[in-house]
Structure 1
Amino acid sequence: MNLLVPAADGDGTFHGPTIDEFFPPVLFFEGTPFEINRIMLVRFVAVIVLLVLFWIGTRKMRVVPGRFQSLVEMGLDFVRVNLAFDLLGKKDGRRFLPLLTTIFFMVLFMNLTGVVPFLNVAGTSVVGTPMLLAAVAYVAFIYAGVKKHPAGFFRNALFPAGVPWPFYVLITPIEFFSTFVLRPVTLVLRLTFNMISGHLLLSLFFGATTFFFFTAPGFFKLLGVGTLAFGFVFTLFEVLVAALQAYIFAILTTVYIQLALAEEH
C-alpha cells in the first residue's frame, strides 16, 4: 500500500490526503500484540539502514579515513561537539553521549523515510515512536537530576529558592506541570505534527500532479507542471525539516539534562 493517496476515484474527481493514511491495514500478525503495518516496516527499514551504515563506517577504522568513514565521523562529531560537550561539558557529555547520539540519528533516519521513494512516510509520523523517545529523554532527565542531587532535585524543581512561602501554592503546581508534564509532551507533539503535516503536503502535491497529468481534461493538464514543481520544492524543504527536528529533539533532551545537573539543584 502506497501512502501517497490516489489522485482520483472512479468518479474522476480529485481526493486529497487524509489522516487515515497514518492507520494502514495490518500486514503481519494481525490480532496479536505484535501487529506490523506498513509504518512499522518503515521503522524497521530505517533502523536496519542506520545500523548497517554505522557498521560499515566504523568496522575498519583508519588513521587517515576514507570518504565514508569521514562522513560517519562528521556525524558523530556533530553530536559530540555541538550537543554533548558544548552543553554538558566533557565529563557529563561523555556519560550521555551514547544516548544523545542514538536519539539524534534515530529521529533523523526515521524522519527522512518520509521523502524516500516507495517508503513515503516518516517513521515518526505516528505518535508511538516520538512517545518512546520522549520517555527515554524524560527518564534520562530525571536520572541525571537524582544522580547529581539525590536529596534536593525534586525539592528545588518544585520549590524554587527565593520565593516567599505563601506563593508556593501557586508556583509549585506550575513548576510541576512545566517541568514534569509539559516537557515530554511538547517533545512528542512537535515532532509528530511536523512529520504529519509534511507528509500530507507532499501527498497533496504529488497526488494533484497525478490527477492533472492523467485525469484532468485539456488545458488543466498543464497545472500538473506547477504541482510537480511545488512537490519537488517541498521535498527539499521536508529534508531540511527532518534534519532540523532531529536536532531540536536532541538539543532539547541535552538542555533538560543540563538543567537537571545545574548547581542550583
Structure 2
Amino acid sequence: MAWFNKPALLALTAAILVMVFAFVAFSKPKLVPRGVQNVGELAYDFVRDQIARPNLGKDSDRWMPLLFTMFLFVWIMNLFGSVIFVQFPVMARIGYPAVLSLGVWLLVMYLGMKHQGPIGFFKNVMFPPGLPGWIYVLVAPIELISTFFLRHITHAVRLFATMMAGHLIVALFSEVGWHFLAVQVTPLGAPLGVLGVAMTILLTAFELFIQALQAYVFALLTAMFINDAVHPAH
C-alpha cells in the first residue's frame, strides 16, 4: 500500500472529521443551539448566505450539502499545514485539488448537457447573446477553451499554488529563525533570527486567514460553475 502515504492519511482524516462534525452538529438538533451545533449552524449559514444563495438563488438549498462539505473539507485540508507536528498542507500536492476540480468539471458537464442539451450547452457558452455577430469569431474559441478546459485547471492550480507558496514562505522564515538563533548564533545573525521568528508568527496568522479564504473561493467558484450550467445566460 505504497499509495497510502501521509497526504492520503490526512485526506482520509479530513473526510472523517467532516462527517463526525456534521453528525455531532446536526444529528440531534436543539431549538436553542449550543456547542458543536452552534458552530455547525454558523458555518452552514455562512456557506448558504455567502456562497450558495448569491450564486444559485432558488436552487441553493439543493446544492448546500455539496458546497458545505466541500468548504469544510478543503478548509481542514489547508489547516493541516498549520497544525503542530503535522504541518502538511495537503492541497499543496497538486493531485488533491486536481481531483476535486475534475469532479466539479464532470458535474458541470453533466448538468449543462442535462439542462441545456449537448448542442445548446456548447452554443450558449460559445455564443453569448447580445454581442455583434462579427465578434463571435474571437469570442467563440476563447469561451470554448476557457469554459470547458482552462477555468477548471485554474480552479485547481489557484488552490495548489496558494497553499504551496504560503507554506514555503513560512518554512523559509522559520528556518532563518532556527539557523541564526540555534545553529549559528552570532551578534550579527541574532537580529536576523529574531526577525525570522517574528515573521514566522505573523505569516502563520496570515496563512490561517488564507487557508479559510481559499476554501471559500474554491466553494464559491464551484457554485458559480454549477449556476452557469443550470441557468444559461439569455
TM-score scaled by length of structure 2: 0.90
**Counterpart residue type for residue 110 of structure 1:** M
User: Deviations along 1:89-108, whole A, 9 cap, x unmatched?
Assistant: 13x11222222112211111
Partner in structure 2 of residue 262 of structure 1: 231
**2-structure distance, mates of 1:213, 1:37:** 33
| Matches for 1:105-120 after TM superposition, within 5 Å | 105-120=72-87
Partner in structure 1 of residue 56 of structure 2: 88
User: Deviations along 1:59-94, whole A, 9 cap, x unmatched?
Assistant: 33111111221111110111122221222113x112
**Counterpart residue type for residue 20 of structure 2:** V
**2-structure distance, mates of 1:260, 1:204:** 42
**1-structure distance, mates of 2:99, 2:88:** 18
Partner in structure 1 of residue 197 of structure 2: 228
Partner in structure 1 of residue 94 of structure 2: 127
Task: State whether structure 2 residue 216 is matched by structure 1 residue 247.
Answer: yes
**2-structure distance, mates of 1:44, 1:207:** 30
**Counterpart residue type for residue 63 of structure 2:** F
Partner in structure 2 of residue 43 of structure 1: 11
**Counterpart residue type for residue 40 of structure 1:** A
Q: Point out where structure 2 has 5 or more consecutive residues left out of the alignment.
A: none
Partner in structure 2 of residue 152 of structure 1: 120
**2-structure distance, mates of 1:166, 1:77:** 45
Partner in structure 2 of residue 14 of structure 1: none
Task: State whether structure 2 residue 27 is matched by structure 1 residue 59.
Answer: yes
Partner in structure 2 of residue 13 of structure 1: none
Identity value in percent: 37
**2-structure distance, mates of 1:59, 1:207:** 45
Helix, strand or coil at the partner of 1:218: coil
Partner in structure 1 of residue 41 of structure 2: 73
**1-structure distance, mates of 2:67, 2:8:** 23
Q: CA RMSD in A?
A: 1.9
**2-structure distance, mates of 1:262, 1:64:** 37
Figure out how many residues of one structure are paired with residues of the other and give that number. Answer: 232
Task: State whether structure 2 residue 151 is matched by structure 1 residue 183.
Answer: yes
Q: How far off is 1:127 after superposition?
A: 0.7
**1-structure distance, mates of 2:181, 2:232:** 63
Q: Is the 8 A contact 2:124 2:232 kept in 1?
A: no
**1-structure distance, mates of 2:48, 2:55:** 10
**2-structure distance, mates of 1:235, 1:83:** 26
**2-structure distance, mates of 1:95, 1:149:** 19
Helix, strand or coil at the partner of 1:254: helix
**Counterpart residue type for residue 95 of structure 1:** R
Helix, strand or coil at the partner of 2:91: coil
Go from structure 1 to structure 2 and tell me whether the alpha carbon gap of 1:61 and 1:163 turns closer, same or farther (over 3 Å shift).
closer
**Counterpart residue type for residue 176 of structure 2:** A
**Counterpart residue type for residue 200 of structure 2:** G
Q: How far off is 1:169 after superposition?
A: 4.3
User: Deviations along 1:160-189, whole A, 9 cap, x unmatched?
Assistant: 345566654443221111111111011111
Helix, strand or coil at the partner of 2:90: coil
**Counterpart residue type for residue 9 of structure 2:** L
**2-structure distance, mates of 1:48, 1:173:** 42
Helix, strand or coil at the partner of 2:32: coil
**2-structure distance, mates of 1:208, 1:39:** 26
**2-structure distance, mates of 1:133, 1:125:** 13
Q: Is the 8 A contact 2:18 2:69 kept in 1?
A: no
Structure number with higher helix proportion: 2
Helix, strand or coil at the partner of 1:253: helix
**2-structure distance, mates of 1:263, 1:160:** 9
